Each structure stands twice: as structure tokens, then as C-alpha cells.
Chains A and B, each alone.
Chain A
Amino acid sequence: QQQVKQSPQSLIVQKGGISIINCAYENTAFDYFPWYQQFPGKGPALLIAIRPDVSEKKEGRFTISFNKSAKQFSLHIMDSQPGDSATYFCAARGGGSQGNLIFGKGTKLSVKP
């Protein structure tokens, strides 16, 4: 019940296309859902985040769609660029006093020029 399941494991998209990464969870106590971007040899960098009372959040080319009833959320990268090639992790934070994030296993995105 503490897991976050992420798919696909890898994704190849043409430049200018839309990249879509999906995550699912079971624990309805989760209260915060961030996405992180990680380049090789670097720490994860916060990309965008959403709380469960919102169905969609957009920042530039990045959009999170959140479906509370289905317990699913997804990251959409519009007009994907080669510079977006990285590993993306979804995560969820437990409610109450729990502070740590529970991460999906990551999606390696390659954007072909």
C-alpha cells in the first residue's frame, strides 16, 4: 500500500512530440505528489508538484494530471526537446507527520532530434 507504481520504464519520443509518464498509488492518505527530473551524475531536481485537491497543474511545457478517484497521476511534457532527455521520478508523501517521499522506479526518457 506504500508503493508508487510508475510506467513506462523507458520512453523514446521524437522532438516536438508529447511525452507521457504515468503513476499509480494505493494509499489514500498521500497528500502531495511531486515529479523529479534527474540527469546522470546529478541529484533529482524538483520539476512540478500537485496536491490531491487539484486535478491539473501546468508549468510551461510540463503538466500534471491528477485523477483522485482512480488514484493515478501523470506527467505530460509538451513539445519535447532533446534537453528533456533524463530520468523522471514520480513520488508521493504520506499524510500526517510522515515527511519522506515514496518514489516510483523512474522512467528514462530519450527525445530524438
Chain B
Amino acid sequence: GAGVSQSPSNKVTEKGKDVELRCDPISGHTALYWYRQSLGQGLEFLIYFQGNSAPDKSGLPSDRFSAERTGGSVSTLTIQRTQQEDSAVYLCASSFNRAYEQYFGPGTRLTVT
């Protein structure tokens, strides 16, 4: 079946611009996660959605970052007033629920110039 998809695959933006990154989870998965992977680093948790519960935003690095999940499916991660340190690969994962395995999408590589 179809896996987690993310778009765009690459995004180059100028410092100070806003960007939106999209994630389509695996159908039927109620949990959705966003992570960030900087060059040569491990994955850093950003935000977690579980069903209709309030999201766990504890990993968001600043108030410039926000995310929403519409209809319990597609999610959008928005970064406002981008900075060069926001350059990274943004990865989305989904799972059947919290207790199950997380499956990752291919990521969006964001470059802020």
C-alpha cells in the first residue's frame, strides 16, 4: 500500500519568508509526527498528533513553527520568517496509534538562503 508522502521534496526559500510543508500519512493511521534532521545529526522531535487530542507541541523550537492536521489526515508544518538555522530535512511519520511502529516519509529538504 501507499506509504507516507511528503511535499515538496525540496524547498529553497529566502530568509524571512514563510514556508509550508505537507505530509500525507498512511491511510488509517491516527498518529502523525514531525521530526527535523539537521546535517549529520539525529532526528529531533517537533510535534505529535494523536486522533482528535490536543497535539503535543513540546518539541517545537520557537513560536515561528506551527502545525495543523485537518480531518485527522493531512498535516501541514508552517515555518514563519525562516532563518538559516531552519535549513534541515523535515520528516513526517505516521503510526496506527501511539503504541505501534512509526513509518517515515521521504522528507522535505528545506534550504534557507
Residues of A within 8 A of B (CB): 6, 32, 34, 36, 41-46, 49, 89, 91, 97-106
**Bound-state Cα–Cα, A102 to B48, Å:** 13
- Interface flag for B65 (CB, 8 Å): no
- Chain B positions 40-61 with a Cβ under 8 Å from a chain A Cβ: 41-45, 48, 50, 56, 59
Which residues from A are CB-within-8-Å of B45?
100-102
A31 (CB) vs chain B CBs: closest residue? B99
- List of A residues within 8 angstroms of B79 by Cβ: none
Least Cβ distance of A58 to chain B in Å?
Answer: 17
CB distance from B24 to the nearest CB of A (A): 13
B107 touches A100 (CB 8 A): no
- Which residue of chain B has its CB nearest to the CB of A104? B42
User: Given A99-B31, A99-B33 in contact, is the A44-B104 Cβ separation under 8 Å?
Assistant: yes
Contact A99 B106 (CB under 8 A): no
B side interface size, CB within 8 A = 24
Decide if B104 touches A45 in the complex (CB within 8 Å): yes
The answer to whether A89 and B43 touch across the interface, beta carbons within 8 angstroms, is yes
Q: Is the CB of B50 within 8 A of A43?
A: no
Complex contact A100–B41 (CB within 8 A): no
| A32, A34, A91, A100 interface centre (most CB from chain B within 10 Å) | A100
CB-nearest residue of chain A to B3 = A43
Contact for A89 among B42, B105, B106, CB less than 8 A: B42
> Once the chains are docked, how many angstroms separate the CA of A36 from the CA of B1?
20
Query: Which of B91, B99, B104 lies at the interface centre, i.e. has the most chain A CB atoms within 10 A of its CB?
Result: B104
Cβ–Cβ contact A106 & B104, under 8 A:
no
CB-defined contacts of A99 to chain B, threshold 8 Å: 31, 33, 48, 50, 56, 95, 98
The 5 closest A-B pairs by CB, nearest first: A43-B104, A99-B98, A100-B45, A103-B42, A105-B42
Give the distance in Å from the alpha carbon of A45 to the alpha carbon of B105 in the complex: 9
A103 is contacted by which of B4, B43, B50, B99 (Cβ under 8 Å)?
Answer: B43
Q: Does B78 contact A (CB under 8 A)?
A: no
Type the 1/0 row for B70-113, where 1 means its CB is closer than 8 Å to any CB of A.
Answer: 00000000000000000000010001001101111111000000
